[in-house]
Amino acid sequence: MTTTQAPEKTPNAFQRGVNAVIDLLSSFFLPIINLLVSVGILKGILTLLQVSGMVTDDSTTYAILNAMADSLFYFIPVFLAYTSSKRFDVDTVTAVLLGCILVYPSFTTIMAADAPVYLFGLELSKATYSSSVIPILLAIYCASWVQKACYKIIPETFRGLFTPPITIIVIVPLTLAVFGPLGTIVGGWLAQGYEAVYNLSPLVAGALIGAFQPFLVILGLHWALFPIAMNNVAVYGFDTIMALFGGAIFAQGGAALAVALKTKNKKFRSQAISASLTTLLGITEPAMYGVNLRLKKPMVCACVAGGIGSAVAGLFGCAGTAFALPALTTLPVFMSRAFVPFCISLALAFGLAFLFTLFVPIDDVTEEEMEAEEQSA
């Protein structure tokens, strides 16, 4: 008797569209995610120094440390110009120059001034490009089409000489007249849309994000929330999304620690302990992929505990004043808005995940399985 294998299910148009968006967002932010986490830590340290009185806002020490912590966010258009140029196949140097133009000091000054701004008699809408995300992405996307057109028209000998200035001459006015105002408007809509949902029920919003954040990470959908979080900081001066991530992040650590206590496999125990500790620094992948998801039940416990912890954070309106993944090192970022409830939400998520996993039976990882994995690796 022969058995026939069922054909693989092909994704439908919606699934392909979702996958394309995830892939697109990942390509923009994945290359700089470590930098985003790092400067988030720096911002937390700076806030801690301010709160302790060791550094004052008017000191040169603060100015230097703030430059170290804030430069990435201020010049984010330049970094995104670089990453998006790889995605849209645009000359990298030209793309970076476009990002630099948008944050050029004198240009930023005239955009911030009260006087109207004109370009060849056309009045431009005022827009702030430092710390912005959408305008530069639209600019680089259109630059790819300008570059393709130039490559078709200009002889190969002169492409390197004439394509960059033509691209700049076309894209910069287009960005100032269309993409900048459009990006500002869309960015405002994104921030307002999230706030509208959040204001309906912060508790429910927290529970949903805390419970499903791990699956957003697995599917890559969490990238879609990062631009909104950055826009929230730029538009409102604070963000609640990252605060709601806290419960989910710390719950992964609590579940992994419980696994470390329950397992009889020494190697796996060592992995689980180190994975649990890394979650306290805002890094969940080792605990999520290497421990909890592997055993399944700890993952369920972490999701339930994360939903409860983040629900508490949502209920009390916890928020951060900068884009930073919740971690022990970034706690100062969340000090100005319901800091005590935020800490309680993190401890609650970690503790409940630990207790849930501790009392739920799990299938231990055997020495043979560990050895087989090492050999296959």
* pLDDT tens-digit map of 23-80: 676 677 767 766 776 776 777 778 778 777 888 888 999 899 889 888 888 898 999 9
- Is 116 a domain residue? yes
| Other beta carbons less than 10 A from residue 71's beta carbon | 13
Q: What is the pLDDT of residues 131-181, one digit of tens each?
A: 777 788 889 999 999 999 999 999 988 888 899 999 999 999 998 888 877
The reply to whether 240 and 107 lie within a common domain is: no
pTM of the model: 0.64
Query: In this structure, are 121 and 254 located in the same domain?
Result: no
Check whether residue 206 and residue 334 sit in a common domain.
yes
Q: What is the structure's pLDDT at 95?
A: 95
Helix axes 297-315, 339-359, angle to 10 degrees: 160
Residue at a domain's end among 151, 171, 196:
196
Structural domain contains residue 337: yes
**Residue 52 located in a structural domain:** yes
Among 158, 179, 196, give the residue marking a domain's end. 196
Write a three-state SS string for the chain. CCCCCCCCCCCCHHHHHHHHHHHHHHHHHHHHHHHHHHHHHHHHHHHHHHHCCCCCCCCHHHHHHHHHHHHHHHCHHHHHHHHHHHHHCCCHHHHHHHHHHHCCHHHHHHHHCCCCEEECCEEECCCCCCCCCHHHHHHHHHHHHHHHHHHHHCCHHHHHHHHHHHHHHHHHHHHHHHHHHHHHHHHHHHHHHHHHHHHHCHHHHHHHHHHHHHHHHHHCHHHHHHHHHHHHHHHHCCECHHHHHHHHHHHHHHHHHHHHHHCCCHHHHHHHHHHHHHHCCCCCHHHHHHHHHHHCHHHHHHHHHHHHHHHHHHHCCCCECCCCCCCHHHHHHHCCCCHHHHHHHHHHHHHHHHHHHHHCCCCCCCHHHHHHHHHHC
Six-digit token string for 264: 């009889």
| Structure token digits, residue 293 | 């998801």
Give exposure, 280-292, as e/b (b: 16+ Cβ within 10 Å).
Answer: bbbbbebbbbbbb
If asked whether residues 323 and 235 sit together in one domain, one would say yes
The answer to whether the beta carbons of residues 212 and 303 sit under 8 Å apart is: yes
Q: What's the rounded mean pLDDT across residues 7-20?
A: 66
- For residues 233 and 327, state if they share a domain: yes
Q: How many domains does the chain have?
A: 2
Q: Are residues 135 and 57 in the same domain?
A: yes
Q: Are residues 47 and 174 in the same domain?
A: yes
Domain shared by 230 and 132, yes or no: no
90 and 187 belong to one structural domain: yes
Computed over every residue of the chain, the mean pLDDT equals 83
Cα Rg, the chain, nearest whole Å: 24
Judgement on whether residues 209 and 341 belong to the same structural domain of the protein:
yes
Per-residue pLDDT tens over the stretch 269-313: 888 888 888 788 787 877 887 788 888 889 999 999 999 999 999
pLDDT per residue as tens digits for the range 104-125: 998 888 888 888 888 888 888 7
Q: Write out the residue range of the structural domain in which residue 168 sits.
A: 20-196
Whether 160 and 231 map to the same domain: the answer is no
Domain boundary among 137, 163, 196: 196
Give a yes or no: residue 376 inside a domain: no
218 within domain boundaries:
yes
Residue written as token pair 């966010």: 73
